[in-house]
Structure 1
Amino acid sequence: MLMKILGIVAEYNPFHNGHLYHLEKSKETSGCSHTIAIMSGSFLQRGEPALTDKWNRAETAVKNGIDLVVELPYAYSCQSAEIFAYGAIRTLNDTKSVNCLAFGSESADISKLSLVADIIAKEPEYYKDKLRKHLQTGLSFPKARELALNFCIPNVGESVVIGLPNNILALEYLKWLSRLESNIEPVPIERTKVGYHSDFSLDGIASATHIRNIINQNDQWREILKPLVPQVTYEEIESYSHKQGFNNLENYFDIIASEILRSSPREISAYPDVTEGLENRLVSSLKNSSTVAGLVEEVSSKRYPSTRISRILCHMATHFTDEDTALFYKDKSFSPYLRLLAFNTKGREIINAIKGNSEIKILDNLGRSQKKLKPNQVRCLKKDLAASDIYFLKTNPQKIGSDYLKKPIYVNE
């Protein structure tokens, strides 16, 4: 049988019925025989630690039908949609083995999505002029871009609802496929039943946001959760709950507050996305805040959305700076690696295919594998390991240092 590999960018925080629908629909639509998911590790795109650790989430994903799960490095996972998408698409493209990319979208019309993405990728002067003018009014970048695109292509822009979360990422995936001149075929899958942030369920489908809220805020979460996730996910979360705590950004308030207090405004401004006096706003807002949620609310505004502030706080907790962003993202000569998390028999076939097609560095045993890495790749990997240790610091301190020793999980079907 000819191998055809489907790529998926995911967080699986946690893997729910909507993800299962997306996976099955993606396989059906693409006709692919194998699947690889590039999944965020310890900290996620919206600026928060994952509910459960990356090893648990990767194993759950394979048990639910993914063949191979690899880690999206921290350098990309806790970033704006543009950098997040770049890291994922660059890595999948560098495997020279992935044939299709399936992604959720509020619009499954690839022709309209591609038309909008083409503007974003090529940035014609008339678009940049409108974007500049909207930014000058104090709007956030995502909102300013949405308005600029709707002006440039009003009928198409409004029909794909550019500002919706899944479409924002979909357009970034398409942009980077274009800029990287990738041969990967995009396969948009229309989101079903509920929205990205919807805090309700419908016919067994709920957003990951709703599910996390259930687990974090309701003592009876087990009963409510069961119909919203596949059986294997429920069993994995139930087992996990007896071994260590679920995680959220609130756990890191003392680390974040200490970093703000010990740092000068100039030092705070060295973190990604800290611009235009945000460093001073962080310092002054801390005086009125005793929780992460309170601090985020104090600092965020129309121009600086809460997700941006949350990502800044994650970078402060992990000590990830602008210098790191410049090295791993702005310098396009930097090559990501492939950190294996979990796989099955088909996943092993994907690994062998990648080894035959590409020079990308595949990391399984870190002690041995990292000797093959270039110095900047080692630096990127150390950021991943540090992020994992900081993650476990608040949920299971006994696991600090374990990420270095952990081998990929083989799921025997």
Structure 2
Amino acid sequence: MNITGIITEYNPFHNGHLHHLSSARAVTGCDGVVCIMSGNFMQRGEPAIIDKWERTYMAIENGVDLVIELPTFYALSSAEHFAKGSLSILDSLGIINNIFFGSECGNVEDLVKIASVLTDEPLEFKNELKVNLNKGLTFAKSRELSLVKVLGDETLSEILQNSNNILGIEYIKAILSLNSKIKPITLKRKGSAYNDKNLASEFSSATSIRESLKNPNSSDELAKYMPPKSYEILKKLQENDYPFIFEEEMFKFIKYRIVSNCINFNNLLEISEGLDNKIIKEIYNSNSYEEFVLNIKSKRYTYTKISRLLTQIFIGLDIYNSKNLFNKDLLYARILGFNNKGREILKEMKKTSTIPLITKVPKNIDNPLLELDIAATKCYSLLNAKVHPFSDYLKGPIIKH
């Protein structure tokens, strides 16, 4: 079988996602699509607006054949680790031929050129990077200027300004570092920017849809921005008083953990020297989640990085030694849902996968990566009363016949 892998969050599934999925089938001519999807927490450091099972249902209803959960540890990591975790799973399945992703540039050759330099780190690049850092430039700017100099192409500078390009580069870096045979293929992104808060076009961003859902009376206008099946699921949830979840609802729990002095900051990957003190100081000067993040935010610490750290604190990631969670022996593929084609793919994967395939969570878990997924659902249930704390044990994969 010719199987295409995609990496998504579907928070929630909108027209742009359907375009990406349809294009993946058309461009690759694949027999099936396997999706790696973030669970109840997103890479930007926020809770999913809808839980992972409802989002899986949306994905399967719109034509994804098989959905696999990206472990929470990777879902709440930097772009580099998010990509590495996703590709490590796809590569370990032994059945994925290519990965299809969106990018602002739409040119996979340029992304490969950049990823190759960042992976190999030739001496010229290292020297240029050192010179730029010594000038007092940020790491991102130093890296950008060094790449342009080494590759002799000024147009690459613009590529490095866009988030989907950066994520695409990280996907390719992961493929190269894993020595994987998976082929990267990209689609030029259409419509609004991913962080655009306004509903502006047929391909409006997930951010704009989430912003709209803050108004309980606005769901009707979303019909033109979402595929009919996604919209129907969303509407039904709303009719059943399903709560849409936003980051503000984590604030009181995060505040409790900080003021009770029960956080081991040393176990958090992205914590830098002094940032822990800044977090502790500003919690007493903040009355909301957004105010808290903005009080900590600086040139060095971006909004997204701080949000990830706060969400890691919320789910208790600091209880674990984060560095130990990168152990490749801990990887698994947690199956969240599939259709009939997905069932066929799953049958083949059982023959080729080098990591465990989990359709039912065992009662006794000795894998800290999976333990964290269970803990994340329990924490998500604090925000969403419709999600049972033990849903990971109570719910099986979503199956569409």
**TM (normalized to structure 2)?**
0.94
Q: Is 1:366 paired with 2:361?
A: yes
Structure 2 residue aligned with 1:41: 39
Structure 1, unmatched stretches of 5+, are none
How many angstroms apart in 1 are the aligned matches of 2:76 and 2:282?
23
- Residue aligning to 1:109: 107
User: Which aligned pairs between 1:150-229 and structure 2 lie closer than 5 A?
Assistant: 150-155=148-153, 158=156, 161-216=159-214, 218-229=215-226
Partner of 1:26: helix, strand, or coil? Answer: helix
Distance 1:401 1:163, change over 3 A: same
Cα distance in 1, alignment partners of residues 192 and 7 from structure 2: 19
Q: Which runs of 4+ in 1 moved over 4 A?
A: 132-141
CA distance in 1, matches of 2:45, 2:138: 17
Partner of 2:15: 17
Contact 1:51 1:247 in 2 (8 A): yes
For residues 190-216 of structure 1, give each alpha carbon's deviation from its aligned partner in whole angstroms, at most 9, with x where no partner exists.
101222222334441101111111112
Displacement after TM superposition at 1:9 (Å):
0.3
Report if the CA contact (8 A) 1:5-1:36 is conserved.
yes
- Aligned equivalent of 1:318: 315
* Contact 1:328 1:334 survives alignment (8 Å): no
Please give the per-residue CA displacement for 1:109-157, whole angstroms capped at 9, x wherever unaligned: 1211110010111122332344445556666544443333233335265
Q: What is the CA-CA distance between 1:356 and the residue it aligns to?
A: 1.2
- TM-superposition CA deviations, 1:360-410 (whole Å, max 9, x none): 201111137x77xxx4xx211110011011011111166111222210010
Summarize deviations over 1:154-182 as a string: whole Å, max 9, x none.
52653661120100100000001011010
Once the two structures are TM-superposed, the CA of residue 287 in structure 1 deviates from its matched residue by 1.9
Match of 1:400 in 2: 389
Residue 178 of structure 1 aligns with an amino acid whose one-letter code is L
Provide closer, same or farther for how the CA distance between residues 278 and 206 of structure 1 changes in structure 2, counting only shifts above 3 A. same
**Superposition deviation, residue 188 in structure 1:** 0.5
Q: After TM superposition, list the pairs within 5 Å mapping 1:247-396 onto structure 2.
A: 247-263=245-261, 267-321=264-318, 323-329=320-326, 331=327, 333-367=328-362, 375=366, 378-396=367-385
Mark the CA change 1:306 to 1:398 in structure 2 (over 3 Å): closer, same or farther: closer
3-state SS of 1:189 partner: strand
2:70: which partner in 1? Answer: 72
CA distance 1:305–1:133, shift in 2 (3 Å): farther
Match for 1:229: what amino acid?
A: M
The runs of 5 or more residues in structure 2 that have no matched partner are: none
- Alpha-carbon RMSD: 2.0
Q: Is the 8 Å Cα contact of residues 272 and 321 (structure 1) preserved in structure 2? A: no
Q: Percent identity?
A: 35
Return the alpha-carbon distance in structure 2 between the equivalents of residues 141 and 70 of structure 1.
33
Residues 291-316 of structure 1 deviation map (CA, whole Å, 9 limit, x = unaligned): 11001001011111010000010111
Superposition deviation, residue 5 in structure 1: 0.5
Q: 2:98, 2:183 within 8 Å by CA — same for their partners in 1? A: yes
- Match of 1:321, SS state, is helix
TM-score (norm 1): 0.92
Distance 1:24 1:398, change over 3 A: closer
8 A Cα contact 1:70 1:338, kept in partner: yes
For residues 102 and 191 of structure 1, the distance between their equivalents in structure 2, rounded to whole angstroms, comes to 12
Cα distance in structure 1, aligned partners of 2:138 and 2:243: 35
Deviation at 1:253, TM superposition (A): 0.8
Aligned length: 400
> Judging changes above 3 Å, is the alpha-carbon distance between structure 1 residues 156 and 87 closer, same or farther for their aligned structure 2 residues?
farther
For the structure 1 residues 156 and 23, does the alpha-carbon distance in structure 2 shift closer, same or farther, using more than 3 Å as the test?
farther
Say if 1:59 and 1:323 are closer, same or farther in 2 by CA, change over 3 A: same
Give the conservation status (yes or no) of the 8 Å contact 1:272–1:315.
no
* CA distance, structure 2, for counterparts of residue 348 and residue 116 of structure 1: 37
DSSP-derived class of the 2:159 partner: coil
Q: Secondary structure at the match of 1:206?
A: coil
Q: Name the SS for the 1:103 alignment partner.
A: strand
Cα distance between partner residues in 2 of 1:302 and 1:110: 30
Cα–Cα, structure 1 residues 384 and 61, in superposed 2: closer, same or farther, change >3 Å? same
Moved more, 355-364 or 3-12: 355-364
- The change in CA–CA distance for 1:185 and 1:399 in structure 2 (over 3 A counts) is same
CA distance in structure 2 between the aligned counterparts of 1:59 and 1:113, rounded to whole angstroms: 32
1:213-253 CA-to-partner distances (Å, cap 9, x unmatched) read: 1112x343212211000011111111222242111111111
- Note closer, same or farther for the CA distance 1:398–1:200 as it changes in structure 2 (3 Å cut): closer
Q: 1:250–1:201: structure 2 CA closer, same or farther, 3 Å change rule?
A: closer
- State the one-letter code of the partner of 2:271: V
2:362 is paired with a residue of what secondary structure? helix
Report the CA distance between 1:357 and its aligned residue.
Answer: 1.2
Whether contact under 8 Å (1:108, 1:188) holds in the other structure is: yes
